[in-house]
Amino acid sequence: MTTLTIIERSVPVTLEAVGRTEGAKEVEIRARVSGIIEKRLYAEGAYVKAGAPLFQIERAPFEIALARARADADQATATRDQARRETERVAGLYKSSAVSQRIAEESETAYRSALAAYDAAQARVREAQLNLSYTSVTAPISGVTGRALHSEGSLVTANNETSLLTTVSQTNPIWVRFALSEAEHAGLRRSQGNGDASVELVLADGKPYEATGHLNFAGSTVDRQLGTVQLRAEFTNPQMVILPGQFATVRIGAGNRQVIAVPQSAVVQGNQSRYVWTVDAQGKAAQRPVETGTWTGSDWIIRSGLAPGDRIIVDNLMKLNPGSELTIAPAVATDAPALGTAAAAR
């Protein structure tokens, strides 16, 4: 048989939480003018670059509106020029006292009104140009497109629920939102601070994601109902292995702590609790109830029941009975669970 002398050892602390992925940027693509959708110019679910055309809305009504605005602007320009010439003529006459001050002031007022009308006409031209440009709906960011919510031939209305055409999600980098309890969050802050914590991601198939992430957001308040703090981690995702909306397990390293850990083989499940076999002061086998915690590698972390200096038996446990006498060689304290000292039962 093999015994192990218990000592405390340092083990890494890992916090786990279930998170959900989302694009680093998620944009709703909406129609900014009302009209008929003539074409869908992208493949649903495909990756597009910023500026790529997505939809084409009927242009003709907006081209007509632009032509009308330009005609109004030309007329306003002619009126402004005529008013300026008239003002200059009346000003010369006023200086020679050929006309009254009232006529000069009326001429100046007419010129200012013509200037205002000209500015308004130019603004309507810019507005018409802008509306015409909105008939070509483009991607504001690079990312993965969603499904088209309206087919070709559908009428969409600006500033209405029907204006939503599709979505675009930036998937590189990708974000993962999750929450930690207040105690876990406090331990994380004490150990290394939010900004320095490295984060691992385990996907739904149980395989860890190849890239390590980092925290890029930590909430400053605790949820009153759940007692949790919201956090967010960022991961590179150049191959689109992770898609927005997935559930995944987040693991965060939160420093180290001193614990008592024993090999799995040393812990026995009894009828009411778990226990280990110890070697008492008389060299006899004795059962010791223990409270186990989480795992560290292949070892159980023992919350209570053992103390540094105790000796436990780690193999051939089926041969033991309470009070069995053992011939024990001098035990060697070690933090390596697989090592111990040989002991012969008799």
Residues 202 and 272 in one domain: no
Could you say which of 256, 273, 307 is where a domain stops?
Answer: 256
Pairwise CA distance, residues 26 & 23, whole Å: 6
Q: Which of 342, 344, 341 is nearest to 6 (CA)?
A: 341
Residues 216 and 269 in one domain: no
Claim to verify: residue 226 and residue 316 sit in the same structural domain: no
Q: Which residue has the higher pLDDT, 277 or 196?
A: 277
pLDDT, averaged across the chain: 88
Q: What is the pLDDT of residue 294?
A: 78
Are 249 and 285 contained in the same domain? Answer: no
Q: What are the backbone dihedrals phi and psi of residue 283, each rounded to the nearest 5 degrees, phi first? A: 80, 20
Query: For position 280, what pLDDT does the model report?
Result: 86
**What percent of the chain is modeled with pLDDT above 90?**
64
Q: What is the pLDDT of residue 192?
A: 64
Residue 328 pLDDT > 70, yes or no? no
Host domain of residue 235: 13-22+170-256
- How high is the pLDDT of residue 343? 39
* 93 and 195 co-located in one domain: no
Higher pLDDT pick, 307 / 272: 307
Are residues 80 and 126 in contact, defined by beta-carbon separation less than 8 angstroms? no
**pTM higher than 0.85:** no
310 domain residue, yes or no: yes
Residues 6 and 18 in one domain: no
> 280-313: per-residue pLDDT in tens?
888 888 999 999 987 777 888 898 999 999 999 8
pLDDT tens profile 132-152 = 999 999 999 999 999 999 999
User: Residue 239 is part of a domain; what is its CATH number?
Assistant: 2.40.30.170
**For residue 27, what is the enclosing H or E element?**
strand 9-30
Q: What is the pLDDT of residue 333?
A: 46
**Within this chain, do residues 248 and 264 fall inside the same structural domain, yes or no?**
no
Q: What is the predicted pLDDT for the residue at 186?
A: 85
Give the model's pLDDT for residue 313: 87
- Domain membership of residue 296 (yes or no) is yes
- In the block, tokens 């927005």 appear at 244
For the chain, how many structural domains are there in total?
A: 4
Same structural domain, 39 and 155: yes
Q: What is the pLDDT of residue 94?
A: 87
Do residue 144 and residue 37 come from a single domain? yes
The answer to whether residue 264 sits within a structural domain is: yes
Closest CA to 331 of 88, 48, 5: 5
pLDDT of 337: 44
Same domain for 262 and 341, yes or no, is yes
Q: Is residue 27 part of a domain?
A: no
Residue 123 lies in a domain: yes
Per-residue pLDDT for 326 more than 80?
no
pLDDT in tens, 33-75: 999 999 999 999 999 999 999 999 999 999 999 999 999 999 9
CATH of the domain at 302: 2.40.420.20
Q: Is 168 left (phi over 0), alpha (psi -120 to 50) or beta?
A: beta
Q: At which of 240, 256, 272 does a domain end?
A: 256
On the question of pLDDT at 102 being above 80, the answer is yes
Tens of pLDDT along 181-218?
988 888 888 776 544 578 999 998 989 999 999 998 98
Domain boundary among 119, 148, 167: 167
The three-point CA angle 127-141-217 to 5° equals: 120
Residues 215, 302 within the same domain? no
Q: Let me know if residue 148 belongs to a domain.
A: yes
CATH number of the domain that 70 lies in? 1.10.287.470
46 domain-assigned = yes
Q: What is the pLDDT of residue 211?
A: 93
pLDDT score at 321: 83
Instruction: Please tell me the distance from the alpha carbon of residue 186 to that of residue 184, in angstroms, as a whole number.
Output: 5
**236 has a pLDDT exceeding 50:** yes
Tell whether 180 and 297 lie within a shared domain: no
* Helix intervals (H) in the chain: 60-95, 101-133, 182-191
